[in-house]
Amino acid sequence: MYDVVLLVEQELSEPDAKRVVELHQDMPEPVTYHVLVPCHNAEAGVEASISALGTADLYGPGLAGQREDLQEAQRAIDSEAKGCSGRSVQRLRDLGQHAEGGISHDRPIDALVATVRHSQGQEVIILTRPHIVAEFFHLDWTNSARRHLGVPVLHLLEHESRSSAGAEPRK
């Protein structure tokens, strides 16, 4: 069995799933894909934003009263991430592949390292959006993964949807 860990920031599109599977079509052994979706921590995000603004002393205590709202937001974030993972896994399975998936609240690279170790992954593919700012920040995912793992790491850009403001697909 050849295990490939996919770190994706949004669900795999049909073309992306096909592209990933095509990378392994000549493998002499069966391939299993492990889809990992990093999940934002709502409470940590709000606290970090308040701290970054230097207003923690003004709003910090008020945050305690917002815990219920933050928990509700977290449930919505988790639900969307689980759906993203599930739909991505299903797209791979629809192509006749073995696939499983999950979400993580850990830092993406920490979660990736843990998943590779747990699944005994032999390869990592990181799929990010083709947005210039996202590319800048997520190239760090690729570089960090290469530093932490002793397996090949491939960074792919997700296909842009054709419906995005009439833009032509990237080549």
pTM of the model: 0.71
> Among candidates 27, 4, 28, 9, which has minimal Cα distance to 84?
9
Mean pLDDT of 112-118: 93
The residues that bridge with 118 in the sheet, in sequence order, are none
Max CA separation in the chain (angstroms)? 61
- Given a contact cutoff of 8 angstroms between Cβ atoms, the answer to whether 5 and 124 are in contact is yes
pLDDT for the residue 152: 58
**Which one is predicted more confidently, 148 or 76?**
76
Helix/strand/coil for 147? helix
Confidence check: pLDDT of 6 > 80: yes
Q: Which two tokens stand for residue 106?
A: 């850990």
Helix/strand/coil for 24? coil
